[in-house]
Structure 1
Amino acid sequence: MKITVNGNPADIQAATLPEVLRELGYGDAKVATAVNESFVPAAARAGVTLASGDRLEIVAPRQGG
């Protein structure tokens, strides 16, 4: 299905948010996620299913200053 990830088009096979994160190479990394501009806590990700056209934002913490 086609979704938008961090503003870029992506074609993914997975359907649930945890599966999508693994498919995109995030694995079990500590990241913040939002689907269609709604924050999704890590504990709630398993219950989120993406659909074609959805917008996914993934933010990873960085060190430095």
Structure 2
Amino acid sequence: MAIELAGRPHRVPEGSSLADLLAALGHAPQACATALNGDFVRREQRHATRLAEGDRVVLVQPIVGG
């Protein structure tokens, strides 16, 4: 199934959740914030959030420093 990840085409298996996508990309759940089609998705909602054809996913990793 085709989605858009950070503005680029990306393929995921049918039935994938947002949590599945993060795991497949090697991201720790607490390492980034997620948005799906412009809406913030809380960490505890990622397993229940199923991806659909054409969804737009954005991952934001916090920058630490000073």
TM-score by length of 1: 0.86
- Corresponding letter in the other structure for 1:8: R
Query: Are positions 1:58 and 2:59 aligned together?
Result: yes
Q: Tell me how large the CA RMSD over aligned residues is.
A: 1.5
The answer to whether residue 1 in structure 2 is matched with residue 5 in structure 1 is no
For residues 3-57 of structure 1, give each alpha carbon's deviation from its aligned partner in whole angstroms, at most 9, with x where no partner exists: 0011111112261111111112213342100100011011111110001100000
4+ residue runs over 4 A deviation: none
Number of aligned positions between the proteins: 65
State the identity as a percent: 37
